[in-house]
Structure 1
Amino acid sequence: MAFAENIKKIFTLPDLRNRILITIGILILIRVFAHIPLPGVDLENLKEFFAKNQIFGLLNMFSGGAMQNFSIIMMGVGPYITASIVMTLLPHVIPQLDALSKEGEAGQRKINQYTRFLTVPLAAFQALAMIKLLSAGGISGQQIITGDFTGGNLIIALITITAGTMLLMWLGEIISENGIGNGVSLIITLGIVAGIPSQVRNTLAVITGEGGVDTGQLLSFVFFA
């Protein structure tokens, strides 16, 4: 009863209510984007690949299923996280960045801007690697995606996926500034939570199928269940 009263009080505060609604709305929008695939992809073949491959299955879980849908946000905020780590380490080897990091809020804004710039090529590179890996047959030698991802089509796909990552980064910043905060962390958490049911289904399918028990997927099921 007390819990229900506390929830009711939260929604009587206009500012807090608006922040919660903004956050929920953005998270729902992200889940919609996760189900918008790039054209020219055999989704059934792709889902079967992620179901059978434990490493890629875990990556797909962290993306909230966006990867097996070959979604426009399939890379998630991973490139942004990588860029943030790189920009955290670079001041130790580049004196100019070290000086910038000591300039307080103004310096941090500049570093954040550099982080966004670095995210773009990282997202494009990771998207290219994933497309080439799946087009060439992944690690199994069997072609996973059959779409024509060459020439202009490849460039369009890379631009779309990179834009998807930048869109997620922007939505995360909106949550941080106008929502309940920790936007990027919430997006990552959303992906994990949304990916758990799919991972559980895939694991149970392996356990009950003819292939026997896949140890890696069984461990991931026990850990995340």
Structure 2
Amino acid sequence: MPGILKVPEIRNKILFTIFILLVFRLLAHVPVPGVDLASLRSYLASSSLFSIFNIFSGGGFQNFSIITLGLTPYINASIILQLFTAVIPQLEELSKEGESGRAKINQYTKLLTVPLAIIQSYGMYFLLKSQGVVSNLDPLSLLVLVFSFVGGSLLLVWIGDLVTEQGIGNGVSLLIFAGIVSRLPASVYQFISTLQASDLADLILFVVLSLLVVLGIVYVNEGIRKIPVEYGRTGRSGAYSSSYLPLKVNQAGVIPIIFAVSVVLVPSIVGPPLLALPYGFLNTIGNFLVTYFSPQAVVYNIFYFMLVFAFTYFYTTFQFDPSKIADDLKKRGGFIPGIRPGKETERYLKNVTTRIT
């Protein structure tokens, strides 16, 4: 590690990333006016759904800060654009144009983030107003509230891009990770403060099970399926050279879970505003969303499981392109033993990926 820090470029990237994370934590404590924070935190303690939302906003929700929405609108926009990429030929062509195409899709994602952030801001306001946490705001104050949330969300997207370009790792993923980790000290303190001597056996069991879960996650995440690959005769000896193609068991990583959480929160945000409207049909929809999409509801958990399952397959197909790999192998004179180069190799790789996913 000391050797790495001696390299100016790497050191600057690390320092820049740390600076951005400090700014992110500071933003989580810049409140938006018009809210009773004591009532909000009391409501938060009784709502497991918004405890999850608070984690993903890095504690911004409990402070009703300008980053209360977090990166949820941007994540939702990314999901929608990726779905559209699979069905709209123009977007599919853009995705194949390399860096310039990805930059254009990223631009569309940011544009779509704005209306989604506006909708979610209004939904958040109506939900908290129905719980008596937020007072009835006049139109101008409501507009200030909404645009504060929208601006905060776009600010996070921007600083996430800065980390990606000038820091270390993927900026958006790093901000989500930082938000989750920032809640750990408070959670550990709360857990320890309620711990009693009689709970020692349960604590040991919990720690052991947690370690086993972490080991299992690491094992699966690092697992690969080795596909043997041979290349044509090379050199004076005329011998075949062989290698293997590593296919990760968990191609999608943690992204499907992040996608699923961001989507499953939407019904709970949209439901309360529909309940407040003077239309019977919309009231019925709002009541259904509020009733069946709470974390304790069976429908919520089934929906969440299905989303994780579906997004895992979808994101894997988005990340892993068997057609491109098969084409690259063919150009380099490589082949999988027993499998013809070209379309047959593509089908084989697709089937293997589907099975291990």
TM-score by length of 2: 0.52
Aligned residue in 2 for 1:69 = 63
- Partner letter of residue 99 of structure 2? E
Aligned residue in 2 for 1:94 = 88
**8 Å contact 1:76–1:168 — kept in the other structure?**
yes
**8 Å contact 1:63–1:195 — kept in the other structure?**
no
| 1:17 Cα deviation after fit | 0.6
Note the residue ranges of structure 2 that are not aligned, 5 or more in a row: 196-205, 214-357
Matches of 1:36 and 1:70, distance apart in 2: 8
Aligned residue in 2 for 1:161 = 149
Describe the superposition over 1:161-195 as per-residue Cα deviations: whole angstroms up to 9, x where unpaired.
10101100000011001001210011000110112
- Secondary structure of 2:69 counterpart: coil
Task: Looking at secondary structure, tell me which structure has more strand per residue.
Answer: 2
Matches of 1:149 and 1:128, distance apart in 2: 12
Distance 1:199 1:128, change over 3 A: farther
Worse-matched range after superposition: 19-28 or 9-18: 9-18
- Secondary structure of 1:74 counterpart: coil
Aligned residue in 2 for 1:195 = 183
Is 2:100 the partner of 1:111?
Answer: no
Describe the superposition over 1:110-166 as per-residue Cα deviations: whole angstroms up to 9, x where unpaired.
1111000001111111111111100111xxxxx1223x4331111111111101011
Q: Which has the larger radius of gyration?
A: 2
Aligned residue in 1 for 2:134 = 145
- Secondary structure of 1:49 counterpart: helix
Matches of 1:199 and 1:46, distance apart in 2: 18
**8 Å contact 1:33–1:73 — kept in the other structure?**
yes
Matches of 1:21 and 1:73, distance apart in 2: 23
| 1:44 Cα deviation after fit | 1.0
- Partner letter of residue 174 of structure 1? L
Is 2:7 the partner of 1:25?
Answer: no
- Partner letter of residue 183 of structure 1? G
- Partner letter of residue 104 of structure 1? G
- Partner letter of residue 188 of structure 1? I
What number of residue pairs does the alignment pair up? 199
Matches of 2:70 and 2:187, distance apart in 1: 17
Identity %, equivalent residues: 45
Aligned residue in 1 for 2:248 = none
Aligned residue in 1 for 2:117 = 123
| 1:20 Cα deviation after fit | 0.4
- Secondary structure of 1:174 counterpart: helix
| 1:16 Cα deviation after fit | 0.6
| 1:107 Cα deviation after fit | 1.5
Note the residue ranges of structure 1 that are not aligned, 5 or more in a row: 1-5, 138-142, 209-218
- Partner letter of residue 66 of structure 1? G
- Partner letter of residue 100 of structure 2? A
Higher relative contact order (CA 8 A, sep 6+): 1
- Partner letter of residue 107 of structure 1? G
Matches of 1:74 and 1:203, distance apart in 2: 25
RMSD over equivalenced CA pairs, Å: 2.2
Distance 1:157 1:203, change over 3 A: farther
| 1:83 Cα deviation after fit | 0.7
TM-score by length of 1: 0.81
